[in-house]
Structure 1
Amino acid sequence: MSQRRDPASTPFFRLSIDTGTLGYFNTCSGLSAQVETEQRQEGGNNGFVWQFPTRVTFSNITLTRPVTEDSVKIAKWISSIRTGMVRPTAAITALRADKSEIVTWSLLDVFPVRWEAPGFEPGGASVALETLELAHHGFAD
């Protein structure tokens, strides 16, 4: 009998691009798509309005984690944009605590639009978090 996995366990996320893994993140938000619509009224039928899809838009994705040695990889990726933008494919994989995969989202033409390193305060007791924001052109098949 196969072992059931707890669907309520808190996942963490692995970010990979064509050149390799950029590390693990605690939070991931913004994995969404929206279909814009255009409305057309049908002549002679006042009780109905047609809705047609026009374009699909994708929101930016925000990933957050404590600072790790992988933070340097993110900084190098952002710095590489100055020499010519390469838009790799990426994969965000939700993982369980035992690192077994829950689901993977494949993203097309990904590039970093914002990276924020933590502010370090000697008297602070909080975890030093970094944030990475990605833009993309949709989900791969």
Structure 2
Amino acid sequence: MSRPRLAPRFRLTVDGEAVAFLTAAGLDIGHDIVECDDGMGHVFPMPAQNHPVDVSLRHGAVPRSAAFRGWLNAFLLDRIDRRNVAISLTSESGAQPLVTWHLVDAFPVRLSAPGLVAGADPVEVEQLDLRADRLTVDLH
């Protein structure tokens, strides 16, 4: 008996084009903490520099779209092409976003693909790792 195929519920949007993925990990916001002394014997922990954001998207299907493939091709040619992108968790139907994470100055750092089939459309992506400078969250 075969297991039911899960529907991708994460959407990576790059330049207005959406790409569906099954899972997303690393959507974390963090800061270094420094201790500030007020000179009166009190020490206060304060947030400092943001941690970089490392996101992994798995099990996606890349359509034949110029903008997204151009962004990946820049990575393959060892060029860093930073873009503001969004990752949305959608409802089960995929029609409505529930939460959207906005990645500022994101760029690909790793791309892996499963075994490929000639002429397959869309091209499958096993894992796409992104690095971003900052992350913000919108609850819908």
Cα separation, partners in 2 of 1:35 and 1:13, compared to 1, 3 Å: same
1:52 matched to 2:49: no
Q: Count the aligned residue pairs.
A: 121
Q: CA deviation at 1:38?
A: 1.1
Q: Identity over the aligned pairs, expressed in percent? A: 27
1:92 matched to 2:87: yes
Cα separation, partners in 2 of 1:41 and 1:136, compared to 1, 3 Å: same
Q: CA deviation at 1:69?
A: 4.8
Quote the residue 1:134 is aligned against: 130
TM-score, normalised via structure 2 length: 0.69
Q: CA deviation at 1:39?
A: 1.8
Relative to total residues, which structure has the larger strand share, 1 or 2? 2
Q: CA deviation at 1:25?
A: 0.5
Cα separation, partners in 2 of 1:110 and 1:129, compared to 1, 3 Å: closer
What CA distance in whole angstroms lies between the structure 1 residues aligned with 2:74 and 2:47?
A: 37
What CA distance in whole angstroms lies between the structure 1 residues aligned with 2:33 and 2:88?
A: 30
Q: CA RMSD in A?
A: 3.1
Unaligned 5+ runs, structure 1: 1-9, 121-127
Read off the aligned partner of 2:13 and give its amino acid letter.
S
What CA distance in whole angstroms lies between the structure 1 residues aligned with 2:125 and 2:80?
A: 26
TM-score, normalised via structure 1 length: 0.68
Unaligned 5+ runs, structure 2: 1-6, 117-123
